[in-house]
């Protein structure tokens, strides 16, 4: 079992909890579907003067000239945020743990159906990214702010569409930073800021209701295979509070 898959297993429950809170304050709208899975972003909540926008990452700078209509997502949590913003992605990384029959997480599928959108097509990222499949989706933007894409992969993907990678180290983007990057790329910074505020309030309320957890620390350990143990480093989003 690959390390990225193990990370996904460890964080799937957290992602499910976050998307429930995010979806509650999103403003989705219907997006038409067609035989080529064409989808469009919701114009609701788009900030005035949001485009063009340039977003720097550890691998390069993506310049998005206008509101993306065809969005592709790679990595953890990105689809959750995109859908919560009322945007139906045309393509997503295929999930292999906790997924439904579409290859996506069930909460994303449910939210997309509720907004009247088309179910996104999926593509493999392991052992390598299916670039041909992504190219066939004709993306306007590729969002991978919490991922492990390499410099070579970034260069290839950027030839297809503006590609937004992680701001620091791979797999080390905090959930709120990830949301802000996505909001900026989609022109919905104001809406994302509200979502982040609501989520932080929810988390603070849980802390207040559970004072016995104050001051406690923990080790996040998992078993990759019989006879071995692995541990998440302190900066990994899976172990951050």
Q: List the single range of 168-172, 188-192, 215-219, 230-234 with lowest mean pLDDT.
A: 230-234
Whether 241 is in a domain gets the answer no
The pLDDT of residue 236 is above 60: yes
Domain total of the chain: 1
* pLDDT tens, position by position, 93-139: 998 778 889 888 999 999 999 999 999 999 999 999 999 999 999 99
Whether 88 is in a domain gets the answer yes
Of the chain, the percentage scoring pLDDT greater than 70 comes to: 81
Q: What share of the chain is helix, strand, coil (3-state, %, to 5)?
A: 40, 10, 50
Could you tell me the pLDDT band of residue 43, with boundaries at 50, 70 and 90?
A: low
Whether 225 is in a domain gets the answer no
Closest CA to 77 of 150, 12, 166, 151: 12
Whether 33 is in a domain gets the answer yes
The pLDDT of residue 7 is above 80: no
For the segment 26-45, the average pLDDT, to the nearest whole number, is 44
Whether 223 is in a domain gets the answer no
Average pLDDT, the chain: 84
CATH number, domain of 145, equals: 3.40.50.1980
Whether 78 is in a domain gets the answer yes
Angle at CA 108, nearest 5°, toward 103 and 113? 100
Residue-level pLDDT at 222 = 80
Residue-level pLDDT at 231 = 84
Long-range Cβ contact pairs of 151-159 (< 8 A, separation 24 or more): 151/59, 153/128, 153/129, 154/59, 154/60, 155/60, 156/129, 156/131, 157/129, 157/131, 158/60, 158/62
Q: Which pTM value belongs to this model?
A: 0.81
Whether 134 is in a domain gets the answer yes
Residue-level pLDDT at 241 = 53
Strand partners of residue 42? none
Whether 22 is in a domain gets the answer yes
Please report which helix (H) or strand (E) contains residue 190, including its range: helix 189-209
The pLDDT of residue 54 is above 70: yes
Pairing between β-strand 221-222 and β-strand 230-231 as defined by DSSP bridges: antiparallel
Domain containing 145 equals 3-216
Please report which helix (H) or strand (E) contains residue 55, including its range: strand 53-57
For residues 98 and 72, give the distance between their C-alpha atoms in angstroms, rounded to a whole number: 20
The pLDDT of residue 25 is above 80: no
The pLDDT of residue 233 is above 60: yes
For the segment 60-67, the average pLDDT, to the nearest whole number, is 98
């Amino acid at each position: 079992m690959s390390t990225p898959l193990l990370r996904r297993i460890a964080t799937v429950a957290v992602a499910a909890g976050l998307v429930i809170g995010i979806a509650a304050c999103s403003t989705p709208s219907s997006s038409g579907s067609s035989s080529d899975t064409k989808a469009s972003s919701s114009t609701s909540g788009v900030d005035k003067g949001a485009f063009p926008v340039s977003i720097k990452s550890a691998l390069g700078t993506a310049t998005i000239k206008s509101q993306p209509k065809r969005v592709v997502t790679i990595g953890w949590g990105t689809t959750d945020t995109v859908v919560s913003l009322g945007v139906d992605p045309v393509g997503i990384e295929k999930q292999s743990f906790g997924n439904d029959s579409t290859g996506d997480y069930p909460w994303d599928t449910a939210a997309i159906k509720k907004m009247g959108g088309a179910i996104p097509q999926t593509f493999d990222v392991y052992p390598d990214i299916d670039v041909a499949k992504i190219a066939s989706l004709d993306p306007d933007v590729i969002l991978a702010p919490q991922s492990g894409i390499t410099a070579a992969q970034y260069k290839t993907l950027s030839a297809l569409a503006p590609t937004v990678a992680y701001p620091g180290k791979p797999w080390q983007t905090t959930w709120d930073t990830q949301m802000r990057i996505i909001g900026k790329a989609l022109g919905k910074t104001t809406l994302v800021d509200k979502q982040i505020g609501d989520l932080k309030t929810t988390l603070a309320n849980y802390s207040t209701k559970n004072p016995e957890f104050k001051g406690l620390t923990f080790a996040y350990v998992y078993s990759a295979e019989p006879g071995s143990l692995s541990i998440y480093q302190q900066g990994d989003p899976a172990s951050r509070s």
